Amino acid sequence: MNLGMFHYHFKTREAFLRALLQSVYEEMYAELVLVAAKPAALASPTQQLRGALQFMGRFVRANRPVLARLIADALCHEPIALEFLRANFPRHIGVLHGLIAAGQAVGEIRPMPVPQAMGFCAGSLAMPILFAGAVVDSGLLAAPHSQALEQALLSDAALDQRIDLALSALTLPAAAPKRAARRASPRKGDK
């Protein structure tokens, strides 16, 4: 796009950034809602949460440079980043909140404050992606070490394993099957 067309459509760099961020977010949010809305007949709340976490993990991994910059800008009180996060963060967090609450309502997920469960999921899934991504992208490690870190923390298998670990910690054990009637223990004098 030439500079004149850019100015005509966006007027300012800030307007362009807002439009770009919102476009990426709307696409992600629409997909998240679809993943999370599987009918209960096809997926339990925990299975819906697993699908949402898998989607979010892969989205964070694919967009880690942009997300890391957005977080850094927000921490530095950059107005565009703060405005964007204030407007959008509650939306996808609300989807995850609803899935966890639904899992708690049917007894699949441990009773605890939902924000604590969400923090646990974010800490086990998103934070390693952002950390490993920053280290890999920085060039601090030699290529073999960088590739090993990427495989250990950023691969689909690594993401899925952390999701499994998080969900196994958050979910309640399935109800134990009723055991067969215990055999009567012999009483004194019985042989």
Give the model's pLDDT for residue 112: 97
pLDDT of residue 182: 45
Model confidence over 140-163: pLDDT tens digits?
999 999 999 999 999 999 999 999
Boundaries of every domain in the chain = 12-170
Alpha helices, H only, 63-142:
64-75, 79-105, 114-138
Angle 160-48-29 from CA coordinates, rounded to 5°: 90
pLDDT of residue 102: 94
**Residue 43 pLDDT class (50, 70, 90 cuts):** confident
Enter the CATH code of domain 12-170: 1.10.357.10
Residue 184: pLDDT over 60: no
Distance CA 42, CA 50 (A): 13
The pLDDT of residue 1: 57
Reported as a pLDDT band with limits 50, 70 and 90, residue 189 is low
Predicted confidence at residue 15, as pLDDT, reads 82
Residue 33 has pLDDT above 90, yes or no: yes
> Quick one: pLDDT at residue 186?
53
pLDDT tens-digit series, residues 51-102: 999 999 999 999 999 999 999 999 999 999 999 999 999 999 999 999 999 9
End-to-end CA distance of the chain: 95
CA distance 113 to 121: 13
Residue count of the chain = 191
**Which pLDDT band, with edges at 50, 70 and 90, does 42 fall under?**
confident
